[in-house]
Amino acid sequence: MKRARSNVQGENVLSASSSVSLPSSQRGALVCLPTQERSLSLASSQGYQASINMRERVNGSPESDSSRETWDDADFHAQKAPRNAHGNPNNREDNGNHGDMHRIRGSNYPTLQDIACEPIEAIAESMSGKPRELSEDRKAELREILNGNGGTEKREEFAMLQNKVLSRKDLTPQSLTRANRSQLEILVAIKTGIQAFLHPDIPITQGSLMEVFFYKRCRNVACQNELPGDGCACEVCSTKNGFCNTCMCTICSKFDFDVNTCRWIGCDVCSHWTHTDCAIRVGQIAMGSSRKRNGCSPEMLYTCIACKHVSELFGWVKDVFHTCADEWEVEHLVKEFDTVRRIFHGSKDSKGKRLFSKAEELLKKLKDGIDQSVACKEMQCFFQGTLFSYRIPTSIVK
């Protein structure tokens, strides 16, 4: 049985049916937000909160709708940047020197391109002792690029900056210890594509920023677990740079703050999480036979990509609606019904077919204006196997 992501006072709580015991390990801290918002509140153990505007991926791949991380696919941007005859972007030889020192020292303040490709010590020296407003201006400039409001031009500009950082051989743990704090924040933001690292008061030490840069710490500011999480050596954690099993999807490696939802599935065996959208897309959700007391029964199953554990989905959806649905607003409920509809699309067992039909029916009723509490109650009655009856309030009877 899978678990539902839920949140109580900043700590993730896992709900399951009575037949499944809760795992002893706690998940990372997550912030419960309305899912229709396109922003994230990032929280640390000190209670820090900052609203960071995020954009979806730009490569157009059919991945999870709930994934909101900004431009973190380095391979995509590496393919976009122009290269010279030696395979290096922007016609610059990659020898760790990068040259053009007179240009930096002769300017008032390093540009984003300077920070992305010039030697650490030279940039640190040119930024040292300068007003903080100058570094904040550079961060604001990078945030504008990450927002992508300029379309293709901004995407290409970010791809060029990211390639400059990724192609450098002089960026080592030793060299980054000599970096200016703002310089390091900008380098981390360019490498990860995440705006949170540009916030003026981000509560992360310089050492932790370096660990994020070298994939030793989770890039999710609200998580910040050391990697690999719990020392996990599964195929996912051992092969994906920067992957965090506490908060990231095993398939797309992205994180968000959706909780109390059917859009994340948690494995009870290995405690890894997966976007439901991603699991559907790659075939980890499909018809199969599960072992029951009365033998094998065909039904819709989920297979964890990390540990290969297989479990049924009907009971999981039932538990999510039982424990979480009363708190959902109408926009959230629409997404949940749509997720359930897509999970059980193509189901060949009778209860899966009925659940698919019920989700489609309630989606249509919501579009026709039915109150979300009524739709929610009707789905809960469906799972309880009881008939649903709705009495029109006497106050609106003519």
pLDDT tens string 215-261:
999 999 988 889 888 778 888 998 888 999 889 999 999 998 888 99
Cβ atoms within 10 A of the Cβ of 103, count?
12
Q: How many domains does the chain have?
A: 1
Whether residue 373 is contained in a domain is answered as no
Going by C-beta distance under 8 Å and a sequence separation of 6 or more, which residues neighbour residue 172?
Answer: none
Exposure class string for 11-29: b at 16+ Cβ within 10 A, else e: ebbbbbeeebeebeeebbb
For the chain, what's the residue count? 398
pLDDT for 341-393, tens place per residue? 999 998 998 999 999 999 999 999 998 898 988 999 999 899 988 655 444 44
Helix H or strand E segment including 127: helix 120-127
Whether residue 303 is contained in a domain is answered as no
Whether residue 128 is contained in a domain is answered as yes
Cβ atoms within 10 A of the Cβ of 270, count?
20
Supply the range of the domain harboring residue 146. Answer: 57-239
188, pLDDT greater than 70: yes
Q: How far apart are CA 246 and CA 228, in angstroms?
A: 10
Whether residue 280 is contained in a domain is answered as no
pLDDT of the residue at 44: 29
Angle, in degrees to the nearest 10, between helices 314-324 and 372-384: 140
| DSSP-based three-state secondary structure for 43 | strand
Whether residue 268 is contained in a domain is answered as no
Beta strands in 226-341 (DSSP E): 261-266, 273-275, 285-292, 295-303, 310-312
DSSP 239-272: HSTT--TTTSBTTT-------SEEEEEE-TTT--
Whether residue 277 is contained in a domain is answered as no
Angle, in degrees to the nearest 10, between helices 314-324 and 350-367: 40
Would you say 55 and 83 are in contact if contact means Cβ atoms under 8 Å apart?
no
Backbone angles phi, psi at 164, to 5 degrees: -60, -40
At residue 282 the predicted structure's pLDDT band, cuts being 50, 70 and 90, is very high
Going by C-beta distance under 8 Å and a sequence separation of 6 or more, which residues neighbour residue 102?
Answer: none
Whether residue 22 is contained in a domain is answered as no
Instruction: Output 101 or 364, whichever has higher pLDDT.
Output: 364
Q: Which amino acid is at 334?
A: V
Whether residue 173 is contained in a domain is answered as yes
212, pLDDT greater than 90: yes
pLDDT of the residue at 259: 87
75, pLDDT greater than 60: no
Q: Which of 95-99, 107-111, 116-120 has the weakest average pLDDT? A: 95-99
Q: How far apart are CA 111 and CA 126, in angstroms?
A: 11
